[in-house]
Structure 1
Amino acid sequence: MSADEIRLRPIGHRDARRWREARHRSAAWLAPWDATVPPGHQVRPSSFHTLVRRLHRQARAGATVPFAIKVDEEFAGQVTVSNIVRGSAQFASIGYWIDQQYAGRGVMPRAVALVIDHCFTSVGLHRIEIAIRPENSNSLRVVEKLGIREIGYAPRFLHIDGAWRDHRIYAVTVEECPEGMLARLRNG
């Protein structure tokens, strides 16, 4: 999938070096928004390769769709569709992060739009949700640019940066963007 200089593809082991560089370069910038594991629970993957193996296993089970974001063929971040629910629900959540050096260039709204379009067409989902900390102005700007509506507030929703954090919940359904999310972004 691509739009302008942005290309999305499944994240893989070949992304290891660039992923680590991006995470290291942007560590302080990303830390307030990074998911953490509550004390006493299963630890996060200890390496990029362990993370990719876990994501690929979840993808084969139909629970996750993980993407690497490339800008002009350079690794720039990640968008992951997770918590895919089938049956009568047909919904999922999207999470994302970007290397700080690509922030503010409109990369993430286009990447998220591409992923939502993929979810509504190829994956066959009906609804996509995005949970964002109220203090995360950069992520709030992404859903604002995409015109995704806020549907609720979830106190102590996710363990982020070492504590349970409140989140604003946003959602969009396939009926709300019949021409596609990328077209909606470009025409907005």
Structure 2
Amino acid sequence: MDTGVVIRIVREEDAEPLAAVLRANREFLRPWEPKHDEAYFTADGQRRIIDDALLLYSGGVHLPCAIIRHGELVGRININNIVRGNLQTGDVGYWVAQSAGGQGVATIAVEAVVTLAFTALNLHRVGANTLIHNARSQRVLAKNGFERIGLAPKFLRIEGIWQDHVMFQRVNPDWV
């Protein structure tokens, strides 16, 4: 079944479409996101974020991707905080536009980025963290074989408040 959902490395020309999607979904994403200044919602702000992400990507510590559905940019997904050596790990983070929610888009994107993490990046482990009340994101992770491993009190500032997060991980069974 062709879902029309793909991920690819984010590009500088994604700045305007990303800014437009973020502006349109500002209220929808607000409960799940850290506070952002006004520049975040502009093409120039997104261009700076993309440039920084691509620099980290060139250094091997970040995998910044766009989520595309039927040719339209509908979200972002990243492998953040890639650590090599004896750890071989990274953390997945993602968001999708409200119009793409509940249609399997995030589930497909997480599956695709974990596949890249385990194959192209040869990571041993991918972690993920969700707000304790983010049941939708927890379902996406469960569908992708992530297991709940704990609770991180006051883990991340969301909307200016330090909030608890549920911690998940998926271990690469084929790691060599």
| TM-score, with structure 1 as normaliser | 0.85
Supply the distance in 1 between the matched residues of 2:160 and 2:125 (Cα, whole angstroms).
Answer: 29
CA distance in 2, matches of 1:47, 1:67: 17
Deviation at 1:57, TM superposition (A): 1.0
Task: Please tell me the residue identity of whatever aligns with 1:83.
Answer: N
The unaligned stretches of length 5 or more in structure 2 are: none
Range that drifts further, 146-155 or 135-144: 135-144
Amino acid paired to 1:142:
V
Post-superposition offset of 1:44: 7.4
Are 2:7 and 1:5 aligned? Answer: no
2:67 is aligned with 1:89: no
Q: CA deviation at 1:144?
A: 2.2
CA distance in 1, matches of 2:145, 2:10: 27
The answer to whether the Cα contact below 8 Å between 2:40 and 2:46 also exists between their aligned partners in 1 is: no
- Structure 1 pair 71–83 and aligned structure 2 pair: CA distance change class (3 A): same
Show CA shifts across 1:146-181 (max 9, x none).
231100100001111111110000001111xx5xxx
> 1:4 is matched by which residue type in structure 2?
T
Q: CA deviation at 1:16?
A: 1.7
Q: Is the 8 A contact 2:15 2:50 kept in 1?
A: no
Aligned 1:15-164 pairs, distance under 5 A: 15-36=14-35, 47-164=45-162
Q: How many residues align?
A: 169
TM-score, length of structure 2 as denominator length: 0.90
CA distance in 2, matches of 1:88, 1:148: 21
Q: What value does the CA root-mean-square deviation take over the aligned residues? A: 1.8
Q: Identity percentage over the alignment? A: 30
Is the 8 Å Cα contact of residues 131 and 163 (structure 2) preserved in structure 1? yes
Residues 168-187 of structure 1: matches in 2 within 5 Å?
168-175=166-173
Q: Which runs of 5+ in 1 are unaligned?
A: 38-42, 179-188
* Equivalent-residue separation in structure 1 for 2:68 and 2:83 (angstroms): 27
